[in-house]
Chain A
């Protein structure tokens, strides 16, 4: 590489590649087994959400098939997903959607 080479390409690369600090999300998925009351209870109990927020997320899971219940570092999202599996809910880790 020479000093005369424009660094446009490098900057483009930096912009399009995934930033290392891109947050992750924990997603809970709809399933035909778990009761709406139980899912709401788990969201309140585990995440400490107020009842209204827990119910809103539960309805989103039910109506849209999934809901993001937490956002943050990958390790934290994996811990949430393991906890959800412990409750018997269907949950997964994913990259946060682009803003």
Chain B
């Protein structure tokens, strides 16, 4: 089933209930990650990368004044997507919903890529052929399809 569909009044969610169920669980897990001990979670390096590649001190300072805001926004995005998935929200996406979806799908993929050990094209290839974690890799690829489809739906003909 295609994840999104454009109608006269805007973009609507068109996922099956099974797909919604998977994504509902993932957004709940993402909220737990964001609410958890990020300092000891390696995904933090992907969500809050060094802003100064050769200056650890400047990077730490940048993180001090940006990270809590970023965490709050990422959490809000995950909550918004969760509300659409559970039916608490429905109808056409507002601009803020489009942004929440795009960013939340990205955060989910960043998190799963970390758990799969994907750091470059070689490890990406490995994780698609590895015996372990095939299920999670399938989810990762599906999320990529969902995001690609959303970008196409948002930027395509109206």
CB contact list, B93-151 vs A, under 8 A:
102-103, 106-107, 109-110, 113, 118-121, 123-124, 144, 147-148, 151
**Does chain A have a CB within 8 A of B155?**
yes
Chain A, interface residues (CB within 8 Å), range: 20 to 34
**Does chain B have a CB within 8 A of A87?**
yes
Within 8 Å by CB of B106, from A81, A88, A94, lies A88
**Does chain B have a CB within 8 A of A35?**
yes
Residues of B within 8 A of A92 (CB): 49-53
Q: Is the CB of A86 within 8 A of B70?
A: yes
A78 smallest CB distance to B (angstroms) = 7
A22 smallest CB distance to B (angstroms) = 15
**Does chain B have a CB within 8 A of A41?**
yes
Q: Is the CB of B70 within 8 A of A85?
A: yes
Q: Is the CB of B113 within 8 A of A33?
A: yes
Q: How far is the CA of A34 from the CA of B66 in the complex (A)?
A: 21
CB contact list, A36-89 vs B, under 8 A:
37-38, 41, 44, 78, 81-82, 85-88
Within 8 Å by CB of A85, from B53, B66, B118, B147, lies B66
Q: Is the CB of A41 within 8 A of B154?
A: yes
Residues of B within 8 A of A85 (CB): 47-49, 51, 66, 70
Q: A78-B62, A93-B51 are in contact. Are A41 and B151 (CB under 8 A)?
A: yes
**Does chain A have a CB within 8 A of B73?**
yes
Residues of A within 8 A of B102 (CB): 38, 41, 87
- In the complex, residue of chain A having the shortest beta-carbon distance to the beta carbon of B102: A38
**Does chain A have a CB within 8 A of B89?**
no
Residues of A within 8 A of B49 (CB): 29, 85, 90-92
Q: Is the CB of A38 within 8 A of B151?
A: yes
A-B contact pairs, 7 of them (CB 8 A): A35-B147, A78-B51, A78-B62, A82-B69, A85-B49, A90-B46, A93-B51
Residues on B lying within 8 angstroms of A by beta carbon are 46-53, 62, 66, 69-70, 73-74, 102-103, 106-107, 109-110, 113, 118-121, 123-124, 144, 147-148, 151-152, 154-155
